[in-house]
Amino acid sequence: MEISSILSKEFNVKQEYIENIIGFLDSGCTVPFIARYRKEQHGSLDDQTIRLISERLSYLRNLDKRREEITNSIAGQGKMTEELAAAIANASALVELEDIYRPFKQKRRTRATIAKEKGLEPLAELILAQDKKTSPLKEAEKFINAENEISSAEEAVAGACDIIAEMISEDAALRKNLRTLFHAKGIVNASGSEETDTEGTYRNYYDFSEPLKKIAGHRVLAIDRGEREEKLKVSVTLPDNSAENLIINAYKKNDSECGTLVENTCLDSYKRLIYPSVEREIRSELTENACEAAIKVFASNLRQLLMQPPVKNTVTLGVDPGYRTGCKLAVVDGTGKVLDTGVAYITTGEKMKVEQGRKKIAELINKYKVTAVAIGNGTASRESEQIVSGIIKDSPQKAAYMVVSEAGASVYSASKLAAEEFPDYDVSLRSAVSIARRLQDPLAELVKIDPKAIGVGQYQHDMPKARLGEALGGVVEDCVNSVGVDLNTASPSLMMYVSGINSAVAKNIVAYREENGAFTDRKQLMKVPKLGAKAFEQCAGFLRVSGGSNPLDNTSVHPESYKAAEELLKLCGFTAADIGSERIKDIESIAVKTGLSRISEMSGVGVPTVKDIIKELKKPGRDPRDELPPPLMRSGDVMELKDLKPGMELMGTVRNITDFGCFVDCGVHEDGLVHISQICDRFIKHPLEAVKVGDVVKVWVLDVDTKRGRISLTMKQKNAPKTE
């Protein structure tokens, strides 16, 4: 079956659309470009679906490549049959192909190959035939040969059984049935003790067993890590000798002497050859599936984090907390430009220094009319928050603050990029700037950091690096392109994620801008070195020029559709000067009355593109993040862990999501855990079905463990304890 047909069935998408997507990908088009500007050709699929199709396409193509390699290898050995060719053609997974190829692989010398060299294959075939009249030992006497180092009938029988054992272990159909049996009845076991796990990290797995088909991905990853650290021993087993019985039933024909030999050989083959191999495959598959699930959660969390609503046009004070070295301060204006920096020793405990620090912060807030304060959540964050909160309450300048995740800030501040951006600042001052900018525009700031360092996943350090990097890079690319980028203000680190633009071209765009002044229209991009026609096609629609010569350049309307946009304006009674004005707000209803199909026909673009153009004409330069609820800013008293009581109602922000629940920042230093069972009244398989990173939620305190610094929360009020 051809790949486009397989993908069509798997994704329930017309084969014509799949073929179009494959064609676009093969011609060098990016996923964001295909999703946004080729909707008519793929039925308006979103970027995430197209990316999944792209990933599956790569897998199927690699599968076909391996299929061809195996076919050529077996044919080259002169061992290809019609039955074998059909099995290879019908294999739908790499593991099935490898099972088929197993008997034909070049092997290191095994007990079976040594037995074959001694000429014992005829005896093996005789035993496997299981004729009731055959005496294995009597037949084996014919194979006693000093030259072949066979000194007895028993040795000959043992060698023949080695050949049979290997043949059984290479039975592709049998291995497939065994894997099915493991998936249906397999048990994952783990064991350990405090002797090897002195810190008790894996105490939940000291005596652990769970059905393979039910075990959660995060437990698989925890067990894997425990095994790597030599704290746990792990196995996958089957109950009631079911695997042995399956093999015996497949090969034993009767209770003759030969039949008994075959039964014993089946048991030997399973214990010595099949089980270790199949267990490795099953464990590998469990880990791979768990990693894929964890990567999906990480990717989803990252998407929500990057798409957090920006706190626009606010003068912001960034505070990077610290004890001995003080809190580093940076004031940035509404565009992210640094206005001032400083240090405040507000957490030292020395009264004079604390007062001086308070005065310094108050001066910065009042001098620059600061309206938002971003406080990093690292060391000394709680103490810094308490003092900043008090300063804000006493200040005539109205301001609010938010504790911002510092994850990855130290990675950025010590990077080459940060050194180029702020050559005169030390590392901690760069962190303060980054913290302020994270509040102002999370996307623009977080793209400067390796997505793996942002810290919104679980077990990310255990993930396959290439696969994790590919998945997270795709998320960043989708987010940047869905928001769009200002051609005249964007940094190279943001621009390099735009469709069709790589790092070198991004730097060339900024260099061209610095040398020639601000871009006045998109066409000037064609003058940028190394930005050719194909790159222009891919990137132009995602790069905005505000205040330029053509108002369409400040929209996500692609230059290829400018004529269509102008025709649409004309048909609806507007001009380019009306774009974004109050007057044009009724364009959608006018277009519907005129007839979208008629407009589509007259403008030469499909109806989906017509609808997209209408949205852009109403709100040029629109930011999809503006439609989301704003982040939770605070200005009141700061609470500590000891202030929390069961039953207390709080508002908080979802900071991270895992398989087993979500972590919520409620304004105390430690994030509280809402277990999956406490998220909502309906049954959910995963927290992502009900919450996402950045959601502002109402929670109630279930329990507070002050010794371990843990808070248990519920989002179901009926489960909350009564407050005293």
Buried-state track 7-24, b at ≥16 Cβ within 10 A, e below 16: bbeebebeeebbbbbbeb
- Rounded to an integer, what distance in angstroms lies between the CA atom of residue 640 and that of residue 656? 21
Average pLDDT of the segment spanning 470-479: 91
Strand pairing category for 338-344 and 485-486: unpaired
- Tell me if the domain spanning 111-297 has CATH number 1.10.3500.10: yes
CATH class of 3-104: mainly alpha
pLDDT at 424: 87
| Nearest to 711, CA basis, from 673, 665, 679, 660 | 673
With contact defined as beta carbons under 8 Å apart, do 246 and 181 qualify? yes
Is pLDDT of 107 > 80? no
Per-residue pLDDT at 724 exceeds 60: no
Instruction: Please choose, from the candidates 201, 218, 190, the residue with its C-alpha nearest in 3D space to the C-alpha of residue 675.
Output: 218
Mean pLDDT of all residues in 193-209: 92
- Provide the pLDDT for residue 267: 96
**505 confidence band (pLDDT: 50, 70, 90):** very high
Report the b/e string of 73-110 with b at 16+ CB within 10 A: ebeeeeebeeebeebbeebeeeebbbbbbbbbeeeeee
Question: Rg for the chain (alpha carbons), in Å?
Answer: 33
DSSP secondary-structure letter at 145? B
In this chain, the answer to whether the domains covering 316-449 and 511-627 adopt an identical fold is: no
Who's near 84: CB < 8 A, 6+ residues apart?
Answer: 74, 100
Instruction: Place 636 in a pLDDT band, splitting at 50, 70 and 90.
Output: low
Are 444 and 484 in contact, with CB atoms under 8 Å apart? no
The pLDDT-based confidence of 1 (bands split at 50, 70, 90) is low
What is the homologous superfamily of the domain 316-449 according to CATH? YqgF/RNase H-like domain (3.30.420.140)
For 512-549, what is the HEC assignment? HHHHHCCCCCHHHHHHCCCCCHHHHHHHHHHEECCCCC
Structure tokens that stand for 618 in this block: 């109403």
Instruction: Render pLDDT for 67-76 as a digit per residue (tens, 0 to 9).
Output: 999 999 999 9
Rounded to whole angstroms, the Cα distance separating 310 from 314 reads 10
> What integer is the mean pLDDT of 431-437?
92
DSSP character at residue 668: S
CB distance 713 to 700 below 8 Å = yes
- Answer for the pair 564, 620: CB distance below 8 angstroms, yes or no: no
Neighbour count for residue 358 (Cβ, 10 Å): 18
Span 576-604, average pLDDT: 89
pLDDT, residue 68, reads: 94
- What percentage of the chain's residues is helix, strand, coil (to nearest 5)? 55, 10, 35
Asked if residue 249 has pLDDT above 90, the reply is yes
Inform me whether the pLDDT recorded for 418 exceeds 90.
no
- CATH: 1.10.150.310, 1.10.40.30, 3.30.530.20, 3.90.79.10. Which one for 511-627? 1.10.150.310
Domain boundaries, the chain: 3-104, 111-297, 316-449, 511-627, 641-719
Q: Where are the alpha helices (DSSP H) in 77-120?
A: 82-90, 94-101, 111-117
Statement: residue 312 has pLDDT above 60: yes
CATH T-level assignment (fold) for domain 641-719: OB fold (Dihydrolipoamide Acetyltransferase, E2P) (2.40.50)
pLDDT score of 638 = 57
With contact defined as beta carbons under 8 Å apart, do 189 and 236 qualify? yes
pLDDT score of 406: 82
Per-residue pLDDT tens for 641-691? 888 889 888 888 888 898 889 999 887 778 899 999 999 989 998 999 999
Confidence of residue 410 (pLDDT cuts 50, 70, 90): confident
540, 558 Cβ separation under 8 angstroms: yes
CA distances in angstroms from 244 to 115, 157, 237, 254, 672, listed in the order given: 24, 21, 12, 16, 48
Look up residue 277 and give its two tokens: 């191999």
